A = this chain, B = another copy of it.
Amino acid sequence: MADHTVTFDVAPHPVTVPTGTLLVEAAQLAGVEIMQPCGGQGRCGRCAVQITSGTVRRRSTLRLSAEDIAAGYALACQSVVEGDISVHVPPQEKIERRLTTERTAAEVTVPAGYDPLIHQSVRRYALTLTPPSLEDQTDDWTRLQIALRQQAGIEQVQASLDTLRRIGSVLREGDWRVTATLAASSWDCPNCPARLIDLRAGHIAPDEPLWGAAIDVGTTTVTLWLVDLISGEVRAQVAEYNSQIARGEDVISRIIYASKDDENRAEMQRLVLGTINELLETACKRVKAEPREVVKATIAGNSTMIHLLLGIPAESIRLMPFVTAVNHVPTLSGREVGLAMHPEGVVDCLPGVASYVGADITAGVLSSGMDDADRITLFIDVGTNGEMVLGSSEWLVTCACSAGPAFEGAGMRYGMRATTGAIEEVWINAETFEPTYRVIGGVKPRGLCGSGLISLLAEMFLTGVIDKAGHINVHLPTPRTRLGEHGPEYVIAWADETAIGQDIAITNVDIDNLLRAKAAIYAGFTVLADSVGVPLEMVEQVLIGGSFGKYINVEKAVEIGLLPDMPWERFHFLGNTSVKGAYLALLDTRLRERVRDIASRMTYIELSADNTFYEAFMSALFLPHTDLSRFPSVEAAVLNKD
């Protein structure tokens, strides 16, 4: 096979590769990082590069226009080297940090009455042993067990081989005074002996912190709270983008990437472990501790994130009939998982319910308290998937609808994440059709994020820029609506106002995407309510978890029919309910039991097997809904306008 020279303008040296090499592989060889948010499927167009000399064979040109191709653009994940070429790599869209938890830590109150000696499964004991003598040659391990029995009341204890290797030297170094950290039996083995996590020479003051971590592994963001298990206080809150993003933005892309081979699966595991371990490092530095001192961690996250973190194949999650490998992960150790915490420390992954209703949702329900509420509650967490739970202390039903990533700005012509430069709110003048908008960071706009899109859609609908089917009226007396390259569109910002030098517009295609997303979510509500015979109007509170809820405007969300129409005071934004649930389960064994109970109580409704979902979805494809009586406040607003 012939070899070819590939020269990247951003790499110090050209590389030599054989015929048939993918451009992304050549880039990797040259040390050039090319983002593949869709996992190398040629779906997202983010890996476009420009061939400045020579030619490549393009397997797919999805998302490239005829002009793009004429200008030499090619998708790096879909183009094959067949001769010497030079490649220009355009500057990658730099994801700027806009993680509120980094700046303003959430207020967390320690659960009332928290007592580490009663509720915490991991405890620390100062022990004083009788030294051995010729009259008492009891072995070190038995001697320690006797002290634990007599001084801490622990009847049975186990230790790993690694711990057994250390016992002799620690006992002698401490002159037979030691501090032992133990984990009581866990949920998956209630009759098992306690486990010795750590043994240190000498005695430690009882009020010295004992560190634990509550972790939410989100598809986009990983959040970690560092907790003192003695006081129960959250002592540091940190968050960071999940490094897996470079291998796919949504869970499906990541499953596809990870399922390619064992190496990819290991890479995905390494990536997220890298993120968590960096967070551990950062959080520990703030309190002047070492990550090794963290002796317990609880982890919440959707089922895919938990599988990928543990290196468990996730392929079956995305294939019919959509089953996970494991919902209730056994209690693990820091060593097994690969976390930078104490290798013998407890790692407890919270339970999931189904492929698309994971531990982030059970943790969310726990932290929302809806499983213990008298009032009928709707809990929703909207990301790429819309996961929702309806219920009360008596019953819980749940489902997940693949809303798609439209509300995260993905798949939209000018969509983007909620970072600096994103338009987050829009108002349209009902007479001039001129818009006003607010941009995150107060800079020139680069695109629209989810809340901006919801707001825009609502305004366009209420001002008649679009009709109830979402069609743009190009005959309005304004240059803002026009027939663009991709059909009818509405311009929010003219090229000279933007940071990208192009008009920022929304097209009929974009609107269609948004309608499908909101219809899927609303149809989910309908199916849940129907399944238990409770009309949506009877829902007494709507709890919104996840980052989605942090930015949206309820009024606008109701206006487009994304959220059910009810008095605003029934809506509550809970922030990151997943990490909060992990925090509660970290502190209190009863709450850990409760999240397990929640998981087993939740009745999961598989929408792909449900005909009523399709009907509900079709009815919800209109603004706000085919059945306007479901949205009396919107009906009034529309009537008012006319």
A residues lining the B interface (CB < 8 Å): 132-142, 156, 158-161, 164-165, 167-169, 172, 188-189, 191-193, 310-313, 315-316, 320-330, 332, 336-337, 354-355, 604, 606, 608-609
Contact = CB atoms under 8 A, between A and B. Distances in A.
Given A158-B189, A161-B310, A336-B161, A139 B325 contact: yes
Nearest to A133: B321
A139 B324 contact: yes
A134 B606 CA distance: 7
Given A165-B313, A316-B140, A604-B137, A321 B132 contact: yes
Contacts of A192: 189, 191-192
Contacts of A332: 161
Nearest to A167: B325
Given A132-B321, A606-B134, A606-B137, A158 B188 contact: yes
Given A321-B132, A323-B138, A315 B168 contact: yes
Contacts of A132: 321, 323
A546 B240 CA distance: 63
Contacts of A337: 161
A604 B134 CA distance: 11
A596 to B, nearest CB: 13
Copies of this chain, count: 2
13 contacts: A134-B320, A135-B609, A136-B321, A141-B325, A141-B327, A141-B328, A142-B326, A158-B188, A161-B312, A161-B332, A164-B325, A165-B325, A188-B193
**Which 8 residue pairs are nearest across A and B when measured between Cβ atoms?**
A191-B191, A134-B609, A141-B326, A168-B325, A139-B324, A139-B327, A132-B323, A134-B321
Contacts of A310: 161, 164-165
Nearest to A609: B134
Main secondary structure of the interface of A (DSSP, over half): loop
**Most central of A168, A192, A324, A332 by chain B CB within 10 Å:** A168
A323 B139 contact: yes
Given A136-B321, A141-B325, 5 more contacts: A138-B323, A158-B330, A161-B310, A164-B312, A165-B312
A346 to B, nearest CB: 14
Contacts of A189: 156, 158, 192-193
Nearest to A156: B189
A135 B321 CA distance: 9
Nearest to A315: B168
A156 B192 CA distance: 12
Contacts of A193: 188-189
Nearest to A313: B168
B327 A142 contact: yes
Contacts of A141: 325-328
**Most central of A139, A160, A315, A325 by chain B CB within 10 Å:** A139
A132 B136 CA distance: 59
A310 B354 CA distance: 41
Contacts of A313: 165, 168-169
A305 to B, nearest CB: 15
Given A141-B328, A609-B135, A168 B316 contact: yes
A132 to B, nearest CB: 5
Contacts of A327: 139, 141-142
Contacts of A321: 132-134, 136-137
Given A158-B189, A315-B168, A337-B161, A323 B609 contact: no
Contacts of A329: 164
A325 B135 contact: no
A249 to B, nearest CB: 25
A137 B354 contact: yes
Nearest to A192: B192
Contacts of A139: 323-328
Contacts of A323: 132, 137-140
Contacts of A354: 137
A316 B176 CA distance: 14
A355 to B, nearest CB: 7
Nearest to A131: B321
Contacts of A164: 310, 312, 325-326, 329-330
Contacts of A608: 134
Given A192-B191, A330-B159, A137 B322 contact: yes
Nearest to A336: B161
B328 A140 contact: no
Contacts of A606: 134, 137
Nearest to A330: B158
**Most central of A158, A161, A167 by chain B CB within 10 Å:** A161
